């Protein structure tokens, strides 16, 4: 099967064989023009093409088309009538509207098999294969709500995807509303779960990397923002200013979430908590250059 995008009218030069082809507009939806198609039987029919359009090989498929509707990881297969088998010859171009040949229970001379084709046994689709195909299209196109049309060559039994649509009408899917509701609910839950996981990871990074704040500098007052366990679980974090003269500073986080920070050999230090408890989230530390201080995450 081949596809060809035609941007201008083609002239017949006799150098290639077109075979039977279906021409459809490039416009895929939003207008009645998107359903206007043509069947070309020979090269001379090229003059009837209205570019820009897409030309595809016509495949005989015993007037059966399978619409596969996809909602996330669920697939629904609906059988529809389609074009009958055609054979190459010196015939005039056939123009038709696809809505007239693929609607449920529609009758049209274009969908009625000729007598020589009525004895062919209809080929039923492989459901597992269509489900796998749906998953591949979903991953490749990154779509959750879409549909595609499949026909099966009545001679070779090969499958051909002839159309892919974003958010189709889902005609024939009786429980579409319920399926759509469940899918939307699932996506919301997945998003909330992802946000929660990202927040937990951020909090772990704060605990892991936010303990060492020791740098060379002048002896000055340092501040720490302290959160309660409840606030911390809601996204709180610690923030420290510079820790001075830290040539020998070591940080060690133990199970009790207590860390000791030393700037020298001397144990002389002055540590003062906030005088007022009205502001619980702010502790002020004052430390001499050679002092040691202890802080706790609790």
| Cβ count within 10 A of residue 125 | 16
Q: Which residues pair with 23 in a beta bridge?
A: 38, 55
* Model confidence band, residue 77 (pLDDT cutoffs 50, 70, 90): very high
Higher pLDDT: 158 or 52? It is: 158
Three-state DSSP class for 198? Answer: helix
Query: What mean pLDDT, rounded, does the chain reach?
Result: 74
* Residue 26 and residue 54 in contact, taking contact as beta carbons nearer than 8 Å: yes
The share of the chain scoring above pLDDT 90, in percent, equals 41
For range 112-127, the mean pLDDT = 92
Window from 196-200, 201-205, 286-290 with minimum mean pLDDT: 286-290
Answer whether residue 104 shows pLDDT above 90. Answer: no
Whether omega for the bond prior to residue 281 falls within 30 degrees of 0, making it cis, is no
Cα–Cα dist 74/144, whole Å: 10
Between the CA of residue 123 and those of 104, 153, 164, what are the distances in Å?
19, 9, 22
| Top-confidence range, 29-43, 198-212, 234-248, 273-287 | 29-43
Structure tokens belonging to residue 183: 């899918």
Query: What digits encode the pLDDT tens for the residues 200-220?
Result: 777 777 666 555 444 444 444
Enter the tokens of residue 112.
């009625």
pTM over 0.75: no
Domains belonging to the chain, first-starting first, are 3-173 (3.30.470.20), 210-298 (no CATH)
Q: What's the pLDDT at 289?
A: 41
């Amino acid at each position: 099967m081949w596809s060809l995008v035609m941007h201008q009218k083609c002239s017949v030069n006799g150098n290639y064989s077109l075979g039977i082809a279906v021409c459809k507009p490039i416009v895929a939806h939003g207008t009645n023009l998107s359903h206007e198609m043509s069947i070309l039987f020979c090269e001379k029919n090229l003059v009837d093409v209205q570019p820009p359009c897409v030309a595809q090989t016509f495949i005989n498929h015993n007037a059966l088309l399978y619409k596969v509707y996809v909602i996330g990881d669920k697939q629904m297969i609906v059988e529809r009538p389609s074009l009958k088998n055609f054979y190459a010859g010196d015939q005039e171009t056939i123009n038709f509207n696809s809505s007239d040949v693929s609607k449920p229970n529609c009758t049209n001379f274009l969908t009625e098999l000729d007598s020589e084709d009525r004895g062919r046994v209809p080929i039923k689709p492989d459901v597992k294969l269509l489900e796998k195909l749906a998953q591949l299209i979903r991953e490749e196109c990154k779509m959750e709500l879409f549909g595609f049309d499949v026909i099966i060559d009545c001679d070779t039994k090969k499958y051909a995807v002839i159309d892919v649509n974003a958010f189709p009408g889902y005609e024939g899917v009786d429980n579409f509303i319920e399926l759509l509701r469940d899918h939307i609910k699932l996506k919301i839950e997945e998003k909330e779960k992802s946000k929660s996981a990202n927040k937990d990871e951020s909090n772990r990074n704060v605990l892991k990397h936010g303990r060492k704040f020791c740098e060379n500098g002048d002896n000055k007052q340092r501040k720490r923002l302290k959160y309660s366990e409840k606030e911390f679980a809601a996204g709180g974090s610690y923030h420290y200013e510079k820790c001075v003269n830290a040539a020998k500073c070591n940080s060690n986080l133990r199970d009790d979430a207590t860390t000791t920070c030393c700037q020298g050999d001397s144990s002389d230090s002055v540590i003062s908590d906030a005088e007022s408890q009205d502001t619980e989230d702010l502790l002020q530390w004052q430390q001499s250059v050679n002092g040691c201080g202890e802080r706790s995450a609790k």
